[in-house]
Amino acid sequence: MPVDINIINSLNLFEDLSHAELEEIVSLMRRIRVTEGEAITRRGAPAHTIFIILSGNFMVFFKDGRSYTLHNKGDVIGLSTVVIPFYYTGTAVALSDGVVMSMPGQELLRLIESNPALSDKIMKKINQIIAERIPFVTGRC
């Protein structure tokens, strides 16, 4: 199912982007319905797809049992798609029925590589998110 550009515009990750940049991003995205208990990423699997939550609640858990939950529209899952190690470091499971937007990581990377201005805006946001989550991933809490 295609994604509405206004939805993308309202998300924190993409709020600084121009209309043209948003259109490019939207063309890569698909809406996916998920059901309670469904895993959208699995730890150790190659990270091909990045997910952005539109509705629903999610838990991301790691090998040692550590986990965090995501409940807000715009929260991102699967950042390993665009940064090392390029495989999912955690398993993301839907805690309730919901809707996510999926975007092929290779396509996003290609877009980022071909558009330095866009790259700068998105990577800054992604780095912020990673900085918040890194203790969970590395177990350095």
Partner 1 sequence: MYGLDAISAHNGWHMAALGISIVFTGLILLSFTVAQLHNILRLFDNRDAYYKRIRGLFKKNNNKQEVSDSDLSLSNNVKEAAGQCKLLIERIGEPFPLPRLIELSEKCGMSHPYSTINDLILAGFIVPDGKGYYVWNQDEQN
Partner 2 sequence: MENLLMEFISNTGFAMADYRHIIMITVGIIFIYLGIAKHYEPLLLVPIGFGILIGNIPVFKGLGLSLYESNSVLHYLYFGVTSGTYPCLIFLGIGAHTDFSTLLARPVLMLLGAAAQMGIFLTFLGALALGFAPKEAASIGIIGGADGPTAIFLSAKLAPHLIGPIAVAAYSYMALVPVIQPPIMRLLTTRKERLVRMEEPRVVSKREKIIFPVIGFLLCCFIAPAALPLLGMLFFGNLLRECMVAERLAHAARTSIIDTVTILLGITVGASTQADVFLTPQSVGIFALGAASFAVATASGLLFAKFMNLFLRKKINPLLGAAGVSAVPDSARVVQMVGQAEDPTNFLLMHAMAPNISGVIGSAIGAGILWSFLGG
Can you give the binding site for partner 2, defined by CB under 8 A?
32-35, 38-39, 42, 44-46
**Does position 139 bind partner 1 by CB under 8 A?**
yes
Secondary structure of residue 120 in the 3-state scheme: helix
Is the CB of 1 or the CB of 134 nearer to partner 2? Answer: 1
**Does position 71 bind partner 1 by CB under 8 A?**
yes
**Does position 138 bind partner 1 by CB under 8 A?**
no
Can you point out the beta strands (E) in 14-133?
A: 30-34, 39-41, 49-55, 58-61, 67-70, 76-77, 91-94, 98-104
In whole angstroms, the minimum distance from the beta carbon of 84 to partner 2 comes to 17
Secondary structure of residue 129 in the 3-state scheme: helix
Query: Which entry of partner 2, partner 1, none binds 45, CB below 5 to 8 A by partner kind?
Result: partner 2
**Does position 130 bind partner 1 by CB under 8 A?**
no
Rounded CA separation 24/77 (Å)? 20
Q: Is 46 left (phi over 0), alpha (psi -120 to 50) or beta?
A: beta
Residue ranges that bind partner 1, judged by CB under 8 A: 36-37, 57, 59, 61-62, 64-69, 71, 93-97, 135-136, 139, 141
